[in-house]
Structure 1
Amino acid sequence: MTASVEPPHDGPSETLQSQSVDTHGPPISMEDPEDTPPSHAVDIAPRWNESKTMIWRVTATCYCAFVMGANDAAYGAIIPYLELYYHQSYTIISLVFLSPFVGYTISAIINHAIHHRFGRRGVAIIGPACHLLTFAVISTHPPFPVLVIMYIFIGFGSGIQNAAWNVWIGNMANSNEVLGFFHGFFGVGATVSPLIATSLITKADWTWSSFYYLMTGAAAIELIYATTAFWPETGSKYRQALQSSATRAQGNGALSQTRLSLTYKVTWICAIFLFLYGGIEVAIGGWVVVFMTNVRHGSAFASGMTETGFWLGITMGRFILGFVSPRVGEKLSIALYIIIACALELVFWLVPQFFVSAVAVSLVGFFLGTIFPCVVVVATRLLPKDLHVAAIGFAAAFSMGGGAVFPFFIGAVAQAKGVGILQPVLLGMLVVALGIWGTILRTPRVGQAHQV
């Protein structure tokens, strides 16, 4: 069987037939089964469709992304009803954005340890189980402090899955396209979630908490789907895969990989960039309904559909631009997408028409959508393979942390200044994100991207 190799840089892919490529010397034959490839050899990248098992696993990760997207987008649809139900201010209600940050932080610290001890099987069980527990409790419309605490479990479950599946897919052949589909299913979940929630609440007279009956069922399917797909992926199998790693020789402890990954400036650049990106994405999705209702004076249903349009834009961007970005170059394409998003954000802010704002925010979503998978691909090419789980897990947790901190910050400011503050804050975040990404454009490739 011919297997495609994902190159560790922005160069063309190669095809290997029963040989491993030494990046510092001639090819090493693998005809002798006792030959062991050197630690710096390029691994043969698996393809998503090389077997029924791989297809099952890839579709399982896509379904996990669907559930994570449905959860993240549900905030925007239910926040107006949380405010009415719990009789709390924007600042207090915004704690539902902030509390997952605790879970994301924990996941960033112990993500590699979970892989080391339980393998991907552990991720496939723990992540969906956290979702199932949280959705089941929220469906009972608990007291507000309990609601805030339960979202910590959401942060932890989503954090370990986001890191694990991004790394796993990021090391495949055609990783940009496959990651585009993975994140595209996140967008599908984020698109249908506010649509269903808004329709059920405004048209069918459901309570906001009743929507979480559906989310509980979705999480139960997620748990079964992921567990059956990754059951053979044990901790011992994961440790064996890293056995010949050069970095592993520098420290056998699971947490040492996280500490080592943090000595690479690429990890920090990607983490800070994704912190801002996650904040922008969730802030728009979380507050656009309130903005369109209070500032653009739209109806509850029309404003809810605006959030659906934003997530639909993200979904289409991930499915479509995932094929464009590799041809432009991931580093350059990210910069271009941010510049276009800044221009569209100006239109969203300065043209006070409901329809124009709705179209502009959908297009912002379209150009922002593929940024996350592009960053994952760039990181996998700039960092040693055995640090991918730790480094990308840390950066992904930072992204979700941004999705917790900035919507909370905007809610607190909106309490004092009004929700109209959303647009200048978002534009400023986009400009800062562009400046941070500019620092990675000249970052050397793996083997040269040295530690800080």
Structure 2
Amino acid sequence: MATLLLVIIYLAFISLGLPDSLLGAAWPVMQSDLGVPLETAGFLFMMIAGGTIISSLVSGKVLKRFGTSKVTFVSVFMTAGALLGFQFAPSIAWLVLCAIPLGLGAGAVDTGLNDYVATNYKAHHMSWLHCFWGVGATLGPVIMAQFISEGTSWRNGYLTISGIQFALVLILLITLPLWKRVTHNNNNAASNEIMETNAVRHEENNELKPLQVKGVKLALASFLFYCGVEATMGLWGSSFLVNVKGLSAAAAAQWVSLYYAGITVGRFITGFITFKMTNRALIRSGQLIAAVGAIILFLPLPSIFSLVGFIIIGLGLAPIFPCMLHETPTHFGKKHSQSIMGYQMAVAYTGTTFLPPMLGFISSYFTIGIFPVCILIFAAAMLLSTENLNRLLYKKIIGKDTSLKA
């Protein structure tokens, strides 16, 4: 029963990934079709992510009142309807209106499912969960590129993705009774391991509010810059390849899909590597690999190396997000896990909201050629935040061991 529920959660994460990469892949064509400036994509992205931030912040109360199953069903339905609205959009104003439910539909379900898996399943399940997000994020540009290359409208791409979303809505509706039968009393052994590990280590956290727990702010900074890298790659990757490297819009969309494929394949592989490596080691390795990919984009190399850079960045990003999420109960205790998870998702989408549009704004005055520089800066800031968090937690453990010996 719990395994079947996990499959449903995986399917729900496909629906989360499908819309995330569409706007960036389609924007070179949408921009000319709608007759709007380049940086308008950044504004639409801000609207989508802004809705996600709001729903993430209130997700704790919403999930407790209505339950994860109903919230997931309604959220996927909202995103499916919003994507259908994109297909019929007569102007940019209509796209702005549709961006609101598209963002609101993602936040609460994202927080709820991440917390459920982080608390009740082992690390490899979290990596595979986000692998399914990558499946959706990879399929989005592939489908859009197919319609663009055939000379048909980008609107048909949004219509197709909307149809896939509605199919997932139907699956969620049929399986609603399953969620009622599976309760937290049926959690697997991973939940018990987390409780036992944190019972002593985080005892003092019970008296603190979530944001007062040591290390939380550094963790939030890590999520901010991670999403800055991931979202900036997705939103402006196609524009960089078209305007700087001279690729066609269809080819650029396909290359961006390979970036998401790198994330997807990397997370699938990471699920097996978690049996041999710790989350902390995987996070550090991924950040260094992503930085190498950004350096390749920065160097004046032939266009094909840009494809290599995109894939390397995708592979590097693969383990970072799921491993950081899975570490939440371990770092900060199970009691505050859901609240801190909500804050993390909100800050993550804050990075999605503001960092990519910032690049678009600056590029409108200079050039989209600054794209690799921004990616490298965001990756370095993420690495610095996580390393400081690791040092803080290490000092915290050493201090406790010393006090126990005394």
TM-score (norm 2): 0.87
Match for residue 144 of structure 1 among 58, 83, 92: 92
Q: Give the equivalent residue in structure 2 for 1:372.
A: 321
Shift of the alpha carbon at 1:386? 3.1
Residues of 2 paired with 1:184 and 1:396: CA distance?
Answer: 17
In the TM superposition, what whole-angstrom CA distance separates every residue of 1:250-270 from its partner, at most 9, and x where no partner exists? Answer: xxxxxxx9x932222443322
- SS of the counterpart of 1:442? helix
Matched, 1:128 2:76: yes
Residues of 2 paired with 1:84 and 1:363: CA distance?
Answer: 30
Contact persistence 1:61–1:226 (CA under 8 A): no
Shift of the alpha carbon at 1:352? 2.5
Shift of the alpha carbon at 1:154? 1.6
- SS of the counterpart of 1:440? helix
Unaligned runs of 5+ in 2: 188-194, 196-205, 400-406
Shift of the alpha carbon at 1:87? 1.0
Residues of 1 paired with 2:116 and 2:27: CA distance?
Answer: 34
Q: Give the equivalent residue in structure 2 for 1:187.
A: 134
Shift of the alpha carbon at 1:117? 0.6
Contact persistence 2:117–2:125 (CA under 8 A): yes
Residues of 2 paired with 1:225 and 1:268: CA distance?
Answer: 38
Match for residue 200 of structure 1 among 128, 142, 147: 147
> CA, structure 1 residues 120+221, in 2 after alignment: closer, same or farther (shift >3 Å)?
same
Contact persistence 2:135–2:261 (CA under 8 A): yes
Residues of 1 paired with 2:307 and 2:157: CA distance?
Answer: 25
Letter in 2 for 1:225: I
Shift of the alpha carbon at 1:182? 0.9
Matched, 1:157 2:109: no
- SS of the counterpart of 2:39? helix
Matched, 1:349 2:298: yes
> CA, structure 1 residues 286+219, in 2 after alignment: closer, same or farther (shift >3 Å)?
same
Match for residue 211 of structure 2 among 247, 262, 267: 262
After TM superposition, the structure 1 = structure 2 runs for residues 190-339 of structure 1, keeping only pairs within 5 Å, are 190-203=137-150, 205-231=151-177, 233=179, 260-339=209-288
Residues of 2 paired with 1:154 and 1:371: CA distance?
Answer: 25
Letter in 2 for 1:110: V
In the TM superposition, what whole-angstrom CA distance separates every residue of 1:241-291 from its partner, at most 9, and x where no partner exists? Answer: 9xxx9xxxxxxxxxxx9x932222443322221111112111111111111
Match for residue 77 of structure 1 among 25, 38, 42: 25
Contact persistence 1:111–1:160 (CA under 8 A): yes
Residues of 2 paired with 1:268 and 1:231: CA distance?
Answer: 38
Matched, 1:177 2:124: yes
Residues of 2 paired with 1:449 and 1:118: CA distance?
Answer: 42
Contact persistence 1:65–1:183 (CA under 8 A): yes
Letter in 1 for 2:50: V
Shift of the alpha carbon at 1:293? 1.3
Q: Give the equivalent residue in structure 2 for 1:24.
A: none
Shift of the alpha carbon at 1:415? 0.8
Q: Give the equivalent residue in structure 2 for 1:340.
A: 289
Contact persistence 1:56–1:229 (CA under 8 A): no
Q: Give the equivalent residue in structure 2 for 1:89.
A: 37
> CA, structure 1 residues 324+232, in 2 after alignment: closer, same or farther (shift >3 Å)?
closer
Residues of 2 paired with 1:105 and 1:160: CA distance?
Answer: 9
- SS of the counterpart of 2:337? helix
> CA, structure 1 residues 266+162, in 2 after alignment: closer, same or farther (shift >3 Å)?
farther
In the TM superposition, what whole-angstrom CA distance separates every residue of 1:267-326 from its partner, at most 9, and x where no partner exists? Answer: 332222111111211111111111111111122332222101101111111001232245
Residues of 1 paired with 2:96 and 2:254: CA distance?
Answer: 26
> CA, structure 1 residues 299+216, in 2 after alignment: closer, same or farther (shift >3 Å)?
closer
> CA, structure 1 residues 103+141, in 2 after alignment: closer, same or farther (shift >3 Å)?
same
Contact persistence 1:264–1:449 (CA under 8 A): no
> CA, structure 1 residues 155+231, in 2 after alignment: closer, same or farther (shift >3 Å)?
farther
Shift of the alpha carbon at 1:360? 1.6
Name whichever of 134-143 and 262-271 sits farther off.
262-271
Contact persistence 1:82–1:93 (CA under 8 A): no
Residues of 1 paired with 2:252 and 2:115: CA distance?
Answer: 36
Contact persistence 1:70–1:193 (CA under 8 A): yes
Contact persistence 2:145–2:251 (CA under 8 A): no
Matched, 1:393 2:342: yes
Unaligned runs of 5+ in 1: 1-52, 246-256
Residues of 2 paired with 1:294 and 1:444: CA distance?
Answer: 44
> CA, structure 1 residues 443+326, in 2 after alignment: closer, same or farther (shift >3 Å)?
farther
- SS of the counterpart of 1:298? coil
Name whichever of 380-389 and 132-141 sits farther off.
380-389
Shift of the alpha carbon at 1:348? 1.5
Contact persistence 2:226–2:382 (CA under 8 A): yes
Matched, 1:421 2:370: yes
> CA, structure 1 residues 443+221, in 2 after alignment: closer, same or farther (shift >3 Å)?
farther
Residues of 2 paired with 1:219 and 1:386: CA distance?
Answer: 34
Contact persistence 1:382–1:449 (CA under 8 A): no
Contact persistence 1:103–1:153 (CA under 8 A): yes
After TM superposition, the structure 1 = structure 2 runs for residues 430-441 of structure 1, keeping only pairs within 5 Å, are 430-441=379-390
Letter in 2 for 1:158: A
Letter in 2 for 1:223: V
Contact persistence 1:325–1:374 (CA under 8 A): no
Letter in 1 for 2:233: I
CA RMSD of aligned residues (A): 2.7
**Structure ranking higher in helix proportion:** 2
